[in-house]
Amino acid sequence: MDNFLKFIIALWAVFFLFFIYQIFSYIKFKLYLKSLQNKPCICKKYLEKLQDYKKLPIHIKNILEFKIKRFIREKKFIPKYMQINDEIKCIIAFYACLPTIAYKNFCYPSLKYIYIYPHTIIKEHTNQNGIIKKEMLISGESIGEAVIIAWDEVKREIYHYKKRNVIIHEFAHELDFEEGIIDGIPIFAIKDYEHFKKIFNETFQKATKDRILDEYAFSNKAEFFAVSTEYFFLKPQTLKTHYPKLFEEYIKIFKFNPLKMTNIA
């Protein structure tokens, strides 16, 4: 048997083993999801306190509860200077999963850690001259494999219902990050990238002049996407009234209509 034939046989053997491994991994993953589906959701009693949960129809609640169970199982919650409990995990998981409601098996693949602080964080930054400059991190931050959340800000927003939400905001950044470039274009828009980008950029230019949304939206396109995503899920009528084209694009990419509370997937 010559060397070339041995190489071909070895190559096919590697391919076959890889194929078997992929099948095994797929079956294992499906069994894992099925086991999660059958487990009770510990979050229900905490979710029932949230206005944003109570207004959802039953079938969407069921999808979210499954996604929440998976999210809590797969992401590592790291408390900083505080203790965390099931309520904190459940509320963060709910708002993190809400923008992905139509994508049942999507669970932020790039995200590993969630750092939770008790209050607003002061971060130190060094400028170009090497001088340490302190900057206030008001409520949260997304850095790809990790999200940082200030819990006191979350409580103010959800229990006093300010129609702002740092969790949705930071996880919108995560959706943007999953696409590979932080530019305001989330992974869900990849299939119709050029069309979405055109509508998004036109709306950003218009919104920058109108100044109807929260002022932080105009920092850059990534922040505009994060803030407008908050509006889509929490103040959808405002977004639809002033920026109807962007609202329709968000219905397409999120596969959800927040005004009708319907999943169009």
| Structural domains present in the chain | 39-263 (3.40.390.10)
Enter the tokens of residue 49: 């306190």
Q: How high is the pLDDT of residue 109?
A: 94
As a whole-number percent, the residues of the chain with pLDDT over 90 amount to 63
Q: What is the pLDDT of residues 172-188, one digit of tens each?
A: 999 999 877 888 999 99
Distance of CA 231 to the CA centre of its chain: 15
Task: List, in order, residues 6 or more apart from 129 with CB less than 8 Å away.
Answer: none
Q: What is the pLDDT of residues 102-116, one digit of tens each?
A: 999 999 999 999 999
What mean pLDDT do residues 32-39 have?
A: 74
Q: How high is the pLDDT of residue 130?
A: 57
Which amino acid makes up residue 88?
I
CB 233 within 8 A of CB 253: no
Name the band, by pLDDT with cuts 50, 70 and 90, for residue 161. low
pLDDT of 68 over the 60 cut: yes
Q: How high is the pLDDT of residue 35?
A: 74
What mean pLDDT do residues 189-200 have?
A: 93
pTM: 0.86
DSSP of 62-103: HHHHHHHHHHHHHSEEEESSS---HHHHHHHHHHHHGGGTT-
DSSP of 176-191: HHHTTS-SS--GGGGG
| DSSP 3-state of 220 | coil
Q: Measured between alpha carbons, how far is 96 from 155 in angstroms, rounded to an integer?
A: 15
Please state, as a whole number, how many other Cβ atoms lie within 10 Å of the Cβ of residue 127: 8
Q: How high is the pLDDT of residue 15?
A: 75
Q: Calculate the alpha carbon distances from 178 to 7, 10, 110, 227, 248 in Å.
A: 38, 36, 7, 18, 22
As a whole-number percent, the residues of the chain with pLDDT over 70 amount to 86
From 164, 18, 137, 43, select the one nearest 94 (Cα to Cα).
43
Q: What is the pLDDT of residues 2-24, one digit of tens each?
A: 776 776 777 777 777 777 767 76
